[in-house]
Amino acid sequence: MGVPVRTEELRKIYYSPPPAAAAGFRGLRRRSASRNAKNVHVVALDGVSLEVEAGEIFGLLGPNGAGKSTTIGILTTRVCPTSGRAWIGAYDVWAEQVEAKRLIGVVQQRPNLDFSLTAREILLFHGAYYGLPSAERVRRCAALLERFQLSDRADELVRGFSGGMMQRLSIARAMMHDPEVLFLDEPSTGLDPQTRLLLWEIVREYNRGGKTILLTTHNMDEADELSHRIAIIDHGRVIALDTPAGLKASIPGGYLLRLRFNLPAPGISERLRALRGVTEVRVEGAGVDLYAGRGGSLIPEIVAVAAEAGADLCDVHISEPSLETLFLHHTGRSLRQ
Amino acid sequence: MNWKTFAALLARDAHVARRNYLALMLQTLLQPLLFVFVFGQVMIRGGMMAASYKGMLLPGIMAIAMIFTGIQAVAMPLIAEFQFTREIEDRLLAPIRMEWLAVEKILAGMLQALMAGGVVLPSAWLLLGSGVGLRLDRPLAFASVAVLVALFSASGGLTLGCTIGQTNIGLMFSLVLAPMIMFGCAYYPWSALSSFPVIQKVVLLNPLVYASEGLRGTLAPQYPHLPIVVVLLVLSAVDGLLIALGLNRFRRKAVS
């Protein structure tokens, strides 16, 4: 079996400074927010409708402050939506919280472990909260500690754990009660490359058991590698939604050439657009973003065109089709900005 | 209602409290015993206090110990757990209405407050030596007052814990708890304030007054005290108010 996840026109407006996990919104200055809390008005989500199928790995991709964590927060009963509805399976998250909570496991962006307990106790108590019988708790706890390579430090208080260990334990904890839907908010933050690969493997394995997985990331590789489908979110809106391959195919031309000239040359965009294989040209001052069906082979022609327009080409960056170029295409901004 | 989850939440708090029981014990006992020693022994033997002060002091000391313990047991962990680490999140996600987590905190705080009372009363009694003169004539009334005092401390702890930030903990002690204790009729009976008519009226707003007077009235009824019925009524009303307020603050703190 598997459980689908659905949201309908979710909107969230913060009237007080949003929680730290969702911070990073544009236009919100901490100082002005605390001085005059009444005037805070931050639109974190602006009508997000998603349908995640049962047994799917669904990625939410977007820069910091795009609304990813708020979406996860609403789906996991931690954030109350201003309007709109959300369902985990048949349960309305806000009307039937307890039933919804029973189906989900959540890994928050920042490890929120119970610092008064040891790693083993965290897992055992977590199992107890979900009513697992004692023998089952002990068995699952041992298996997860082993799987996440935490067995040798299992009986230490987690206070002294490194960031990566805390993150691993958070993920183990979320899997402890074998939830039908697993939410991973920026799961690989703070993980070294090796552990990241381990995490990806574990996520895929968990998904093979028919579980639905919803993950947020601003790492394109991660979204690309893991997700069956990806929604790109920016400024609280879904701006694109498809399979990774489908999304990449939607980029005009596929290749992105970011060019910089020594001076803004009038008329250069028409000349560039006339080149064979070029599908789109965007000019901003002396910089030009050029989408085209080919990459390096265009350079000699660009240099020639530039010379005709009286400009010199100073810098070139060629990107192959990727989610990064897709994001840039939709928003005019880089994911990392 | 999901009792298994509720029991597991309570077990978690008991487990953490057990781990720190030595520190908790010292924290609960040290201050009241020092106080009892100075006022119940040094001052009395030095002739600065009448010997009858012993029985007067003991119920007040018990009230303060219970209230301090209950407030601290609930407020301090909550303040820490609602900080940016959001340690409480795992329990908020447990399959139970989140208000039950607040109720569980209240219950755990009550139990700790009652235990504090149960430890402080006999040890302070021992330390005071002979002539304390406690008279447990009405055990049921005493038990009711004790439970209501414990509930007051725990629900007060919930309200404070969900209202105050980590940076204001010091203020909580100096601005809320210190005046409450000094004007709480713990070290003197309420009737002793009769020479300060305005203060005597104003302190009636202080719930600790009813806690001290209630314990005094049921443990050492030979001393002047407020009528027990009034104590029971006011404490019940305050408890109800603090539970409602605390749950409301908790909900607002738990969900953004």
Residues 6+ apart with CB under 8 A from B231: B145, B210, B213, B214, B217
Choose, out of A94, A109, A112, the residue to mutate when testing the contact with B (most B CBs < 10 Å).
Answer: A112
* Contact residues, chain B to chain A, C-beta under 8 Å: 2, 4-5, 8-9, 11-12, 15-16, 19, 77, 84-98, 255-256
Are residues B9 and A129, on separate chains, in Cβ contact within 8 Å?
A: yes
Q: How many CB atoms lie within 10 A of CB B243?
A: 20
Going through B106-181 in order, the beta strands assigned E by DSSP cover: none
Cα–Cα distances in angstroms (integers) from residue A289 to residues A263, A269, A301, in the given order: 15, 10, 15
| Nearest-neighbour CA in chain B from A331: distance (Å) | 28
Contact between A110 and B84 using a beta-carbon 8 Å cutoff? yes
Domain range A48-248, CATH class: alpha beta
Of B15, B90, B95, the CB nearest to A102: B95
Q: Which of B16, B84, B97 sits opposite A116 (nearest CB)?
A: B16
ipTM surpasses 0.90? no
Chain A residue closest to B80 (CA)?
A: A115
H/E stretch holding A212: strand A212-217
Domain boundary assignment for chain B: 3-251
Task: Output the six-digit token pair for B234.
Answer: 């006011």
- The beta-carbon neighbor of A101 closest among B88, B93, B255 is B93
Which residues are A256's β-sheet partners? A291, A319
Do residues B212 and B184 lie in contact, with contact meaning Cβ atoms separated by under 8 Å?
yes
Domain ranges of chain A: 48-248, 252-320
Q: Is the pTM of this model over 0.80?
A: yes
Let me know how long chain A is. Answer: 337
Residue type, B101: L
- Architecture of A252-320 per CATH? 2-Layer Sandwich (3.30)
Question: In chain A, which residues have their Cβ closer than 8 Å to the Cβ of B251?
Answer: none
Helical pair A163-175 and A119-129, crossing angle rounded to 10 deg: 30
Task: Return d(Cα B125, Cα B127) in angstroms, integer.
Answer: 5
- Tokens 């005009």 sit on residue: A252
- Compute chain A's Rg from CA coordinates: 23
Q: pLDDT by residue for chain A (337 residues), tens digit each? A: 679 989 988 888 888 766 554 444 444 444 444 444 556 788 888 888 999 999 999 999 888 888 888 999 999 998 989 998 999 989 999 889 999 999 999 998 888 898 889 999 999 999 999 999 999 999 999 999 999 889 999 999 998 888 888 888 999 999 999 999 999 998 887 788 888 888 899 999 999 999 999 999 877 778 888 999 999 888 888 888 888 888 877 776 677 888 888 888 777 888 888 888 888 888 888 888 888 877 778 888 888 888 888 888 888 888 776 777 777 777 766 665 5
Query: How far is the alpha carbon of A110 from chain B, nearest alpha carbon, in Å?
Result: 7
